[in-house]
């Protein structure tokens, strides 16, 4: 119907992943607690946000913390 009247139907066109990292010092353990949340934001072809959704795939979080662990190790070893 939209094609008959020349109305352009928007579709999802672009997305970004937003990550929020929160750290808290834990004195008893002489370390830090790290919390990570991720969200996907999708824009349509008209530049409007069509949806936002939390990302809860455990593989994404595991990959992040694996890389963080390696980076902290390398920093501690001054490599």
Question: Tens digits of per-residue pLDDT, 8-54?
Answer: 788 999 999 999 999 999 999 988 999 999 999 999 999 999 999 99
pTM over 0.85: no
Q: What is the distance between the alpha carbons of residues 42 and 48, in angstroms, rounded to a whole number?
A: 8
Question: Is 70 exceeded by the pLDDT of residue 76?
Answer: yes
Q: Which domain holds residue 72?
A: 13-76
Average pLDDT of the segment spanning 54-60:
95
Any domain includes 41: yes
pLDDT of residue 1: 54
Any domain includes 23: yes
CB 75 within 8 A of CB 65: no
pLDDT of residue 9: 85
How many folded domains does the chain comprise?
1
32: left (phi over 0), alpha (psi -120 to 50) or beta: beta
Question: Is 90 exceeded by the pLDDT of residue 59?
Answer: yes
């Amino acid at each position: 119907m939209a094609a008959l009247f020349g109305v352009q139907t928007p579709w999802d066109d672009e997305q970004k992943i937003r990550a929020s990292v929160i750290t808290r010092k834990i004195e008893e353990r002489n370390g830090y607690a790290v919390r990570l949340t991720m969200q996907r934001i999708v824009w349509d072809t008209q530049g409007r946000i069509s949806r936002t959704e939390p990302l809860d795939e455990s593989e994404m979080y595991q990959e992040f913390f694996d890389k963080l662990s390696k980076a902290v190790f390398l920093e501690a070893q001054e490599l």
